[in-house]
Amino acid sequence: MQKVLILDFGGQYNQLIARRVREQQVYCEVHPHGMTLDEIRRFDPIGLIFTGGPHSVYLPSAPTVDPGVFDLGVPILGICYGCQLMAQLLGGRVTAAQDDSAREYGKTPTAFDTSCALFEGIGGESVTWMSHGDYMAAIPAGFSLAAHSAACPTAAICDEARRFYGVQFHPEVEHTERGRDMLRNFLYGVCHAAGDWTMADYKTQAIEAIRAKVGNGKALLALSGGVDSSVAAALMSEAVGDQLSCVFVDHGLMRKNEGDEVEAAFAHRSLNFIRVNAAERFLARLAGAEEPERKRKIIGEEFVRVFEEVAHQIGAVDYLVQGTIYPDVIESGQGEAAVIKSHHNVGGLPDCVDFKEILEPLRLLFKDEVRELGRELGLPEALVSRQPFPGPGLAIRVIGEVTEEKLALLREADAIFREEMARAGIAADQYFAALTNMRSVGVMGDGRSYDYAVALRSVETRDFMTAAFSRLPWELLDRVSVRIVNEVRGVNRVLYDVTSKPPATVEYE
């Protein structure tokens, strides 16, 4: 099987590059930038991709790569930081932008030289997503300019003879209009990929790896009822059968009626389903906690403690299995990457865990890949296509301290929003209500009110690394607002969030 190697320099979109490669049916792996030449040779890639990163290549502390990679005879694509690093190591010069006009962030009209193999067939001009404060002041010998923008004359460079390419923008994100075509040109036009990897292959390999790891041991899976944990349960069940127990912890932070719905959906499946009602202990631990990272870490630790208790009751459980996917990992910080927010099942885990090992069979997959794997495993479409719900539940949709009163308000408001979205036949990728920590003056029944504001959020996305807010009909928003204010005592204002990701995240905390 052909392989592409992605060397990670700490950018937020690094695993998204892998997603874009894999959706072209080319297998790839992401490894640290410090991978040795011998390790790279053993990997035997048909191409190398250097990712973006938050550093400046000209600083002594900047992450780098063994310059010997340029003598391997393997095609290389550098993206943003990766492009600048390649230029610097091969004799070019990278410097900080001298004024604000030379910095570029966001959608940028860009012109291309379509004689360059990377830009063949994409047209002479399109929009790219820029995010850089440094730029290439001089390009290395043997390279030519292949793209430019109004502020950046070196938006892309190429050395066709050695098959080295660099782009200052991010072709992996949705905002770069022809980004997929550029990556496909690199994979098929430059690296001569055969396109020999599919999700069916991933399923087979994952099952074999799980069986080899677990052996005759027992595994306990954290089952929330969402897409990720459900697919992980199906995968683990196929791999190890009745060696698996699935534990659903009702932490009191679920949506309206959701705990009972999850139990009804899984209680009769062959998954050794166990429900633990733990609302009181979670809310007691969360009392007084207002800062989002603290709330996430409390929830992450308490989940593990419940799983440890159940494991002791079952006896001889070696492995804790989680439905962690890559957006969770990268937002929690990995390698050189910045921490955006600690997901309860990644950065929110306690330092000491009473299991031999934590297994995360979906850790390298994006949401749409998880859904595809679920279909390969024969799960029903209604479950595979279900809208995501975060493990910390409503705790990260209640801004500030979590209380029973606030949870009750939010459950009702969220239920109304979901009911009206379903009635209107609108299927956004994720939508929910959040309870802000803001109270404001209103007029209700000719009297003064001083109540909470509810924020509505709805986004369109494929991979949850980037997202655009949904353009919902005003008539729908009007109905939802009227119903929430009329039916949910304690709310007198409804807001609609029109911020995309980035700069926002999908969830509020």
Each residue's pLDDT tens digit, 57-88: 999 999 999 999 999 999 999 999 999 999 99
Q: Which two tokens stand for residue 469?
A: 């807010």
> By CB neighbour count within 10 A (0-12 exposed, 13-18 middle, 19+ buried), where does 127 fall?
middle
Q: Is the pLDDT of residue 278 over 70?
A: yes
Same domain, 172 and 247: no
Which range has the worst mean pLDDT, 129-133, 143-147, 492-496?
129-133
Q: Is the pLDDT of residue 373 over 80?
A: yes
Residue 164 domain-assigned (yes or no): yes
Task: Centre a 10 Å sphere on the Cβ of residue 160 and count the other Cβ atoms it contains.
Answer: 16
Same domain, 238 and 140: no
Query: Percent of the chain scored above 70 by pLDDT?
Result: 93
β-pair partners for 121: none
- The average confidence (pLDDT) of the chain is 90
Which range has the worst mean pLDDT, 34-43, 205-214, 297-306, 449-458?
297-306
- Taking residues 242-266, report their average pLDDT: 89
Nearest to 116 by CA among 60, 199, 181: 181
Q: Are strands 125-132 and 104-112 parallel, antiparallel or unpaired?
A: antiparallel
Which of 190, 220, 252 is at the close of a domain? Answer: 190
Residue 463 domain-assigned (yes or no): yes
Q: For residues 157 and 139, what is the distance between their CA atoms, to the nearest angstrom? A: 8
pTM value surpassing 0.75: no
Q: Please tell me the predicted confidence (pLDDT) of residue 96.
A: 82
Tell me the C-alpha to C-alpha distance, in Å, between residue 444 and each of 128, 435, 451, 489, 490: 49, 19, 11, 11, 11
Q: Which two tokens stand for residue 344?
A: 């309860």
Residue 392 domain-assigned (yes or no): no
Query: Percent of the chain scored above 90 by pLDDT?
Result: 68
Q: For residues 448 and 452, what is the distance between their CA atoms, to the nearest angstrom? A: 13
Q: Which domain holds residue 492?
A: 397-496
Residue 380 domain-assigned (yes or no): yes
Number of H helices, E strands in the chain: 14, 20
**Which distant-in-sequence residues (6+ apart) come within 8 Å of 85 by Cβ?**
9, 50, 57, 62, 64, 65, 78
Task: Centre a 10 Å sphere on the Cβ of residue 423 and count the other Cβ atoms it contains.
Answer: 10
Same domain, 361 and 316: yes
Radius of gyration of the chain (CA): 25
CA dihedral 28, 29, 34, 36 (to 10 degrees): -70
Residue 34 domain-assigned (yes or no): yes
Q: Is the pLDDT of residue 131 over 80?
A: no
Element spanning 328, H or E = helix 326-331
Same domain, 208 and 328: yes
Which range has the worst mean pLDDT, 3-12, 38-47, 62-71, 441-450?
441-450
Same domain, 380 and 412: no
Q: CA 362, 367, 372 angle in degrees (round to 5)?
A: 80
Q: Which two tokens stand for residue 221?
A: 């899976």
Q: Is the pLDDT of residue 184 over 90?
A: yes
Nearest to 211 by CA among 234, 237, 247: 237
| Residues with a known catalytic role | 80, 170, 172
Which of 141, 168, 190 is at the close of a domain? Answer: 190
The residue type found at 345 is N
β-pair partners for 254: none
Same domain, 169 and 217: no
- Taking residues 379-392, report their average pLDDT: 84
Same domain, 157 and 239: no
Nearest to 175 by CA among 130, 132, 129: 129
Looking at residue 434, which CATH number applies to its domain?
Answer: 3.30.300.10
Same domain, 102 and 153: yes
Report residue 266's pLDDT band, with 50, 70 and 90 as the boundaries.
Answer: confident
Domain count, the chain: 3
β-pair partners for 445: none
Q: Which two tokens stand for residue 306?
A: 């419940």
> Phi first, then psi: what are they for 291, rounded to 5°?
-80, 130
